[in-house]
Chain A
């Protein structure tokens, strides 16, 4: 399986990751529109990185009645945008707030298919890492085509 592993303790809050993501997903620079999100509270003295955990039993997939969310062969949860009805059930179901409807598109981390996740490339502290293991828990039935988005 593959997922983004984060360490909020060394996140400096710069939000370059979010913008690298918004550029990749939507073609625009916007720190509020990434699949990876940074929240900061300078007074509670906290930075927090939110990104899809690629759950083994993904509640977003369970919540989707249209089959718009599926596991690929690496157990990465992907979105089939054309099947999505924008009902928001997955958004409500995600316990991590890691899937969002933005500009009429369902945005979540899919590890930037076929390449290095862009968020990881712009992080200056290593707070964002790519975790890869050989274990795949998704059943073949849950998997979908790799290159469909």
Chain B
């Protein structure tokens, strides 16, 4: 069995570093990545803990297969208590950092405390040093990494924060490379609060595979399978920008803070294709969905140009690419940034905030405004200081402003889907453990126009094929949550995962083979599904301990009250009563109480 995983506990206050083997029974129960991170968060988080205090543990956990050549095995989870939502934060990132961290000899870092002055961590072949970050503090994401590479060599990988993290912006992110972002929940601010500028990994250690030959053969087979998928082919050509094309026809694009639900053709994937020099991969990924754009950066993804573009009424793929580059360099989570800026623009239009507060006119469609607000937020300058508080700004701006923020559980919605036409998607963002987020479940197969029998086969039950129907939709969210939790423990990207935009791609059986040939651990489909369920349950228990239960599984007011005004979705909104019944069916399917929390029996079992 190849389950020798190494965890380092690092206390930046005392400079004490302890390295130990991750207990094998924990690896078997939670595998790695998001799963093990959640186990530790469950042990460590308290309701009283200030997310920006030294006590908050920042956990960096590579997936079980991260760093191996399993398809798209690049992912790493950054987790802690969120300064944005005050529940758990868990952000999954690709790029090359996670693989390099594993090759440097570490699978998981648990970082607590606060350094006296800015530092970075240096990981190399089984040892860790806390080093002075002099000359780095005050730099943004690109310059930080360029400087570190100049100093330490070009074969390092870096996860770092920009100035937004240093200034404790509640939606500051952790980035690695030009664009790869552990975006959600303000983990960049957690790093900033610890005076931790960067984590550098450099290593040449091998990852031993239980059956290297079979692993390689399986990789070739699965890679070939993936490349036959139309979705993979499209992602490899235009990235996630393709999602806008479909959504804009349906009328499911959050536009101008969801006052509208469709935008213009300037953000179609064909327009972004013109902005790209080349498509790039993360570690071990045959999909290569990331643009190297002509404006000096990488991206954008749909969530970014959806929220900062359509969400703010800003046209133009060239403009969106430029704004994306700025946002990434400053180290901000684009999903929150776009959602919060579009919220502020609507508040201004409604007179709920005034020019006296903002110092200038706020209007939709003003690209220069969006860019300057990204800088103001990062520097906490002027009204940017208020917006840097994200949804916490409601307490500064008045309760009435809460009605207009597209957020759930204190987290602004991640991607750009207007959910009024998509009931299962609405349920998905409502119940997602980390707050309004699509990447915990994203049930979109029902809008692909698949034959009903295909849907029924995937979900193992009869599914109502109409995306606006409420019946049976709990099964979609349940299925996707479980498989995505499993894939997040393995360190594989969702873009190779069965059900993510495609009924093909890698399923539990493929995962099981990769795990067996990689580690020797034999798991069945049911075992993997149970691991997924275990993690979803544990996340619920973490939130319950932090005071957030089923009462918070709801939607922004607008999606219940205001019918979508445009296109196929015109006239649709979410029905409160039917939604409430759907929630209860979902809880029942999960075996939770009617309050949306795992039972006491289940809690004891998981502990």
For the complex formed, measure the closest distance between the CB of B95 and the CB atoms of chain A, giving whole angstroms. 9
B residues in contact with A40, CB < 8 Å:
96
Q: Which of B164-172, B206-214, B576-584 lies at the binding interface?
A: B206-214
For the complex formed, measure the closest distance between the CB of B100 and the CB atoms of chain A, giving whole angstroms. 8
A19 interface contact, C-beta 8 A: yes
Q: Which of B212, B223, B286 contacts A28 (CB 8 A)?
A: B212
Contact B206 A30 (CB under 8 A): yes
A residues in contact with B223, CB < 8 Å:
16, 122, 124
Pick from A16, A24, A41, A122 the residue with the most CB of B within 10 Å.
Answer: A16
If A20-B69, A39-B154 touch, whether A45 touches B219 (CB-CB below 8 Å) is no
Q: Which of B155, B209, B285 contacts A29 (CB 8 A)?
A: B209
For the complex formed, measure the closest distance between the CB of A141 and the CB atoms of chain B, giving whole angstroms. 36
B residues in contact with A118, CB < 8 Å:
216
Chain B residue with Cβ nearest A18: B69
Which residues B213-261 have CB closer than 8 A to chain A?
Answer: 213, 215-216, 219-220, 223, 227, 236
Interface residues on A, range: 20 to 34
Pick from B212, B281, B298 the residue with the most CB of A within 10 Å.
Answer: B281
A78 interface contact, C-beta 8 A: no
B residues in contact with A41, CB < 8 Å:
154
Contact A125 B288 (CB under 8 A): yes
Chain B residue with Cβ nearest A22: B206
Q: When chains A and B are docked, how far (Å) is the Cα of A143 from the Cα of B204?
A: 34
Q: When chains A and B are docked, how far (Å) is the Cα of A13 from the Cα of B458?
A: 34
Q: When chains A and B are docked, how far (Å) is the Cα of A9 from the Cα of B306?
A: 30
A31 interface contact, C-beta 8 A: yes
Interface string of A14-44 (1 = CB under 8 A from B): 1110011011101111111100000111110
Contact A16 B177 (CB under 8 A): no
B277 interface contact, C-beta 8 A: yes
Q: When chains A and B are docked, how far (Å) is the Cα of A13 from the Cα of B155?
A: 13
If A16-B219, A32-B103 touch, whether A27 touches B69 (CB-CB below 8 Å) is no
Q: Which of B204, B277, B287 contacts A45 (CB 8 A)?
A: B277
Contact A42 B298 (CB under 8 A): yes
Interface string of A42-56 (1 = CB under 8 A from B): 110101000000000
Interface residues on chain B, number (Cβ under 8 Å): 43
Q: When chains A and B are docked, how far (Å) is the Cα of A27 from the Cα of B207?
A: 10
Q: When chains A and B are docked, how far (Å) is the Cα of A136 from the Cα of B206?
A: 37
Contact A33 B286 (CB under 8 A): no
Chain A residue with Cβ nearest B227: A124
B436 interface contact, C-beta 8 A: no
A residues in contact with B288, CB < 8 Å:
12, 14, 124-125
Contact A16 B292 (CB under 8 A): no
Q: When chains A and B are docked, how far (Å) is the Cα of A72 from the Cα of B145?
A: 44
Q: When chains A and B are docked, how far (Å) is the Cα of A15 from the Cα of B292?
A: 17
Q: When chains A and B are docked, how far (Å) is the Cα of A10 from the Cα of B278?
A: 8
Contact A19 B280 (CB under 8 A): no
A residues in contact with B154, CB < 8 Å:
39, 41
Which residues B178-224 have CB closer than 8 A to chain A?
Answer: 178, 204-209, 212-213, 215-216, 219-220, 223
Chain A residue with Cβ nearest B177: A42
Chain B residue with Cβ nearest A45: B292
If A28-B208, A43-B145, A43-B178 touch, whether A15 touches B286 (CB-CB below 8 Å) is no
Q: When chains A and B are docked, how far (Å) is the Cα of A19 from the Cα of B277?
A: 26
Q: When chains A and B are docked, how far (Å) is the Cα of A121 from the Cα of B223?
A: 9
Contact A28 B207 (CB under 8 A): yes
Chain A residue with Cβ nearest B232: A124
For the complex formed, measure the closest distance between the CB of B328 and the CB atoms of chain A, giving whole angstroms. 11
Pick from B99, B142, B177, B286 the residue with the most CB of A within 10 Å.
Answer: B286
A residues in contact with B292, CB < 8 Å:
45
Contact A33 B204 (CB under 8 A): yes
B68 interface contact, C-beta 8 A: yes
Contact A122 B220 (CB under 8 A): yes
Q: Which of B103, B146, B212, B282 contacts A31 (CB 8 A)?
A: B103
Interface string of A105-149 (1 = CB under 8 A from B): 000000000000010011011000000000000000000000000
Contact A23 B212 (CB under 8 A): yes
For the complex formed, measure the closest distance between the CB of A19 and the CB atoms of chain B, giving whole angstroms. 4
B residues in contact with A43, CB < 8 Å:
142, 145-146, 149, 178
Contact A27 B212 (CB under 8 A): yes
Contact A14 B285 (CB under 8 A): yes
B residues in contact with A121, CB < 8 Å:
220
Q: When chains A and B are docked, how far (Å) is the Cα of A142 from the Cα of B472?
A: 72
Pick from A12, A15, A28, A29 the residue with the most CB of B within 10 Å.
Answer: A29
B residues in contact with A10, CB < 8 Å:
278
For the complex formed, measure the closest distance between the CB of A123 and the CB atoms of chain B, giving whole angstroms. 9
If A41-B154, A43-B145, A45-B292 touch, whether A29 touches B69 (CB-CB below 8 Å) is yes
Interface CB pairs A-B, < 8 A, 24: A14-B282, A14-B288, A16-B219, A16-B286, A19-B69, A20-B216, A23-B209, A24-B216, A28-B207, A29-B69, A29-B206, A29-B215, A30-B103, A30-B204, A32-B103, A32-B155, A33-B204, A39-B155, A43-B145, A45-B292, A118-B216, A121-B220, A122-B219, A122-B220
Q: Which residues of B contact A (CB under 8 A)?
A: 67-69, 96, 99, 103, 142, 145-146, 149, 154-155, 177-178, 204-209, 212-213, 215-216, 219-220, 223, 227, 236, 277-288, 292, 298
Beyond A19-B284, A28-B209, 9 additional pairs, beta carbon < 8 A:
A13-B280, A14-B284, A15-B284, A19-B68, A30-B206, A32-B103, A32-B204, A33-B204, A47-B280
